[in-house]
Amino acid sequence: MTGRTRLTTTETVRDERSWLFTVRDQYDELDEVILVPCEEREVGEATADSADRQAADSADSGVEAWVNRCTHEAQRLDRGFGAAMRDGQIICPKHGSMFDACSGYCDNGDAADTTLPAVEIAVEDGAVYLTDDGYEFVHEGSIEDGGAEGGENGAGDADESQDDDDDMPSSTSHIGF
């Protein structure tokens, strides 16, 4: 769907601790993706099998891209004000499951033994590019931040997402942020 779209810089991702953007998938549906900093791993350190491809491609980049949903109940990890992160892990705001920022793998909580869906990116000279053929860049920020653009090819997509968030229960996590 896309060739290569410049998103932001690695410096911005590191400074903000996450960077949210909206994409359109091959089914013309809007979705959200987060970029997160990934600290370099030591040689030989294991990663989840499903994320090895992406980890190898961007191991030197220090940035990884994940679909912005917990694998447990599709809770948004970044709800528009940054993803909660601690010690190199992305924290689900609903139940507190923690996903490794480099591999996307979760080994605890309700999402244990699952891996966040990866989105292909490339990093060159400090710039981060979307290179995943399954996604087309729409805009920076959440689906709701797109206003009229969000409903352009599928009227109501942005409104439906907003309504879904209103129905979501507040966090039940015992972890404070």
53 exposure class (CB count in 10 Å sphere: 0-12, 13-18, 19+): exposed
> What DSSP designation does 118 have?
B
Determine the distance from the C-alpha atom of residue 65 to the mean position of all C-alpha atoms in its chain, rounded to a whole number: 5
Strand ranges of the sheet holding 127-130, from the earlier edge strand across to the other edge: 5-9, 127-130, 121-124
Q: What is the pLDDT of residues 138-171, one digit of tens each?
A: 999 999 987 544 444 333 333 333 344 444 445 4
Percent of the chain with pLDDT over 70: 69
Give 176's pLDDT tier (boundaries 50, 70, 90).
low
Q: Is residue 174 part of a domain?
A: no
**Number of structural domains the chain divides into:** 1
Q: Is residue 176 part of a domain?
A: no
Task: Judge contact between 36 and 17, C-beta under 8 A.
Answer: yes
* Residue 73 tokens, joined: 């109940």
Which pTM was predicted? 0.73
Three-state secondary-structure class, residue 128: strand
Q: Is residue 73 part of a domain?
A: yes
What is the pLDDT averaged over residues 44-63?
Answer: 50
Higher per-residue confidence, 168 vs 31: 31
Q: Which domain holds residue 50?
A: 5-167
Q: Is residue 41 part of a domain?
A: yes
Q: Is residue 175 part of a domain?
A: no
Give 42's pLDDT tier (boundaries 50, 70, 90).
very low
